[in-house]
Amino acid sequence: MNAAVATELFFPSPTVSAFQLGPLTIRFYALAILAGIVFGVWLTARRLRLRGGTTSQTLDIVTWAIPFGIVGGRLYHVITDNQLYFGPGKDPWGALRIWEGGLGIWGAVSLGLVGAAIGARRAGVPFSAFIDAAAPGLLIAQALGRWGNWFNNELYGQATDLPWKLQIHAMNQTTGQAFTGPDGSPEIIGYFQPTFLYESLWCLAAASLLMYLDRKYRLGAGSVFALYITLYTAGRFVFELLRSDPANTILGLRVNTWAAALLFIAGLALFQARRRLPRSGVGPDHGSTPQPAPDIESKGTPL
């Protein structure tokens, strides 16, 4: 099969998902997540300044939101895919090895919102102002984080012959190296739909649309985040239907497919309920205590 497809077009996957830096093993999955967090925080801080907040307020809030989100994402993954870690022949300690992959976005956002609510209250920022500011950055963070799945050779769809098919290797996640065949070359499992790439591109497009709509229509408090839920889950529903990796199902559909469908409906309802409210912001006119002037000047078109 390898010789037959050698001259065909395909999207390659890495054969290495980690490297050594002294005594440390650096995982590209973790670097992708970290890159998403850094960019998401930067964009959130910029957008919150345009709503009357400060960068220090953003940092205070994300100090709570990020750890809560990571814990929530891992808990969701372990609960919904518990067969990977528990049972005969399984390693339950693997549930703690987050660097090997496995973060459920539903759990990450849910528990992350709890952390954000605590941080926003402590920082004197209306919760709606923060989540509206954070929504586009969250989408971009998800887009960047998906490239960690590329390094891990995971999150792919059904087998395909499309020109942009994704080449998948058999990876040893413990060593961060692809298994090799008898000839010493990396072992290829096959060629599949690159659903990680579809989701990454969808998140980038949704983030751009969200910022455009927020700028053009000055959407009501909380409705920007509601649109984030709606746009993301619309794409995620489709991508889940394309995926072929093992997953728990309910009535023949993957658990994440049901979650995406239900959250899409909830997002639409929330948007309809919030879109005509005044725009979210920080300050006495927005239900928070007076704040000092933004600590960093921000000029130009609002994001």
- Of 79, 102, 105, the closest CA to residue 30 belongs to 102
135 within domain boundaries: yes
Q: How far is CA 127 from the centre of its chain?
A: 20
Least confident of 48-62, 116-130, 187-201, 247-261: 247-261
Band (pLDDT 50/70/90 cuts) for residue 296 is very low
> Is 12 a domain residue?
no
Strands 18-21 and 24-27: antiparallel
- Mean pLDDT is lowest, of 1-5, 141-145, 271-275, for 1-5
Tell me how far apart the alpha carbons of residues 63 and 57 are, in angstroms, rounded to a whole number.
10
Q: What is the pTM of this model?
A: 0.85
Q: What is the reported pLDDT for 56?
A: 97
Contacts of 167 by beta carbon, 8 Å cutoff, 6+ apart: 10, 11, 12, 13, 188, 191
- Cβ(20)–Cβ(139) below 8 Å: no
Read off the pLDDT of each residue in 132-140 and give the average, rounded to a whole number: 97
Q: Which helix (H) or strand (E) holds 39?
A: helix 28-49
Q: Report the half-sphere exposure of 45 (CA within 13 A, side-chain side).
A: 20
The single residue listed with the structure tokens 């054969």 is: 15
Q: Is residue 69 part of a domain?
A: yes
> Is residue 157 one of the residues assigned to a domain?
yes
**Measured distance CA(303)–CA(88) in Å, rounded:** 51
Q: Are 186 and 217 in contact (CB under 8 A)?
A: no
Q: Is the residue at 42 inside a domain?
A: yes
Stretch 53-77: mean pLDDT: 93
- pLDDT of 99: 63
Percent of the chain with pLDDT over 90: 64
- The C-alpha R_g of the chain, in whole angstroms, comes to 21
> Looking at the domain assignment, is residue 210 inside a domain?
yes
Q: Which domain holds residue 217?
A: 24-286
pLDDT of residue 303: 58
Mean pLDDT of 1-17: 73
Higher per-residue confidence, 292 vs 160: 160
**Whole-angstrom distance, CA of residue 101 vs CA of residue 115:** 22
Over the chain, what is the mean pLDDT?
A: 87
Q: What is the mean pLDDT of residues 50-57?
A: 96
Please check the confidence at residue 301 and state whether its pLDDT lies above 70.
no
**pLDDT of 271:** 96
The tally of domains found in the chain comes to 1
Tally of CB atoms within 10 A around 180: 14
